[in-house]
């Protein structure tokens, strides 16, 4: 059984027991979190999908913790103009453990 959820403008295919990294959520480590934006659910026999979301379906998860991704260096340069600009970025994320997938 798997579900496709939407969070942070991205879609994730999750199964019960999976550990996933999603865009930063405002939740404390150890707390539970519920995703209501479920796009599709498969029970092994068939696929049920919503338009755009399934009503009554939810995915329960436990927050493991927060962190930052690898550093990305953005370097801008214009030849013969003396222009250089270097900045870095680390994307914040939240790590979740999927507990259960509930359907309507």
pTM for this predicted structure: 0.83
CB 66 within 8 A of CB 93: yes
Domain span at residue 55?
2-102
Mean pLDDT of 73-88: 97
Q: What is the percent of the chain with per-residue pLDDT over 70, rounded to a whole number? A: 100
CB 16 within 8 A of CB 1: yes
Report the number of distinct structural domains present in the chain: 1
Instruction: Please state the φ and ψ torsions of residue 18, each to the nearest 5 degrees.
Output: -70, 150
3-state helix, strand, coil in the chain (%, to 5): 0, 60, 40
Q: Residue 61: which pLDDT band, with cuts at 50, 70 and 90?
A: very high
- Give the pair of three-digit tokens for residue 58: 């939810």
**pLDDT attached to residue 85:** 98
**pLDDT attached to residue 13:** 96
pLDDT at 62 over 90: yes
């Amino acid at each position: 059984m798997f579900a496709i959820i939407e969070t942070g403008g991205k879609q994730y295919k999750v199964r019960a027991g999976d550990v996933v990294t999603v865009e930063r959520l405002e939740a404390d480590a150890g707390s539970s979190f519920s995703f209501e934006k479920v796009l599709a659910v498969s029970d092994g026999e068939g696929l049920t999908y919503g338009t755009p979301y399934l009503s009554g379906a939810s995915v329960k998860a436990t927050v493991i913790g927060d962190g930052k991704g690898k550093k990305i260096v953005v370097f801008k340069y214009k030849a013969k103009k003396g222009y250089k600009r270097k900045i870095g970025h680390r994307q914040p994320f939240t790590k979740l453990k999927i507990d259960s997938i509930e359907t309507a």
